[in-house]
Structure 1
């Protein structure tokens, strides 16, 4: 345990940390979708904006214990997403495509072996291009499959744990489903999973292990159009990092609440959610995993 703690502290202030601190060994920030996430929209062009504020309370080692000292930070992210659902079908599903352009502003205040240090970075992160979205729709259910790639476009510095880029690319596969209860579909339960396969990080020579993330939600839509529900996410690194000095694997869990409202007449949907992370474990690449609270606002406009 003492060796793991020292190794994690060293990694926080040296070259083993990937950023931003939002994702558990991956590109996809957990908790940005929430309720009804597994239902693809009807044919059309959509803009979706994500505003995410993440307060880091501490960093945990591989056993889930907080590292010594006062290690804190904040991450502010603004994600721009375009979704195009065409009028074409494939395998009985509506076909579409998407792209995500994220922006980050990250500040970290860390206790390191050489003393207290501050790290920060801001700018465009790695860009996602998804040429495949498949959406199936039944009387009481929806299902979605998607595939795409996070490109290594953001700036990455192995000596700066606040870097906006990851330093590697990622293939991301998405699969999710949603079930509506009752003829009026006022209650629903949904689950959306992301599987990530990474390439080698050039600056370190480490290839992060595959990871899997599950976002889930249980919601009710009221007669006035307001939707309320319980949301959460669970993320696991499934394979150890190739080329890393340890076989530690990252993990992260959170629960929260969401409220949303849809204005069909103007084609606008607003959603807000709060998440509390109750468990996080560090992996080999980053040395430690952040644990904190997140506030997410989501704006969707039919174009």
Structure 2
């Protein structure tokens, strides 16, 4: 059992936010958790509620204790009496006892089949935790999974953009297949952003989307006046149209009504002075509004 200080990473910040959501939803006295380090340890650095400090900085090895087992198995486990549970190893009983915790649930945060963090809700009595509490922790973990997945995608796209910016034009060798991949990533980011609660992360997504659109292989059209600015939602819809999606699919992905999709599409077509949805996508790319 090794003590570590929090790294202060973006993942830590998102984990803290998830724990606050859990406490607000359940009223448990303590929600806590931590991210998975490269050495396959869950490092407890995030807490919401009253803590005695015994767990702060503890690193849980994969497969050991409750959090380590959850991270290794990649599935939730609930215990009504941690100190007497037969389903886990008891490597960390001393810190659990020092914290005065008894019943708890731990849920892994899994991104691309890899455990990235573990979230807990705990009480100081030996009582079965209700379904409402377990579901609240599970829901918070799912939201955190999506936010971390978006963060990973942003990092990949930023790395791609930075690498591309450093290459001379003669060495870029852009292909249609490569640009279709970029356009799919752009649309996916815009869709994912709909369910991201963190304002800073949404701002990062918007910035990366703008950079992706700016490096489009199409050139800015200077022969005709620039169109009226498209709204973020109109860009969302056009990005999905560019992937060949039907209106019903777009509505489901963006969490809006079918008629709302049609309305945004009509508005975008009017601003771009186009008569068809596909022409609107091509025109938006020509103006550098879409990649």
Please say which structure displays the higher CA radius of gyration.
2
TM-score when scaled to structure 2? 0.26
> By percentage of residues, which structure has more strand?
1
Q: Hey, which of these two has a bigger chunk of helix by percent?
A: 2
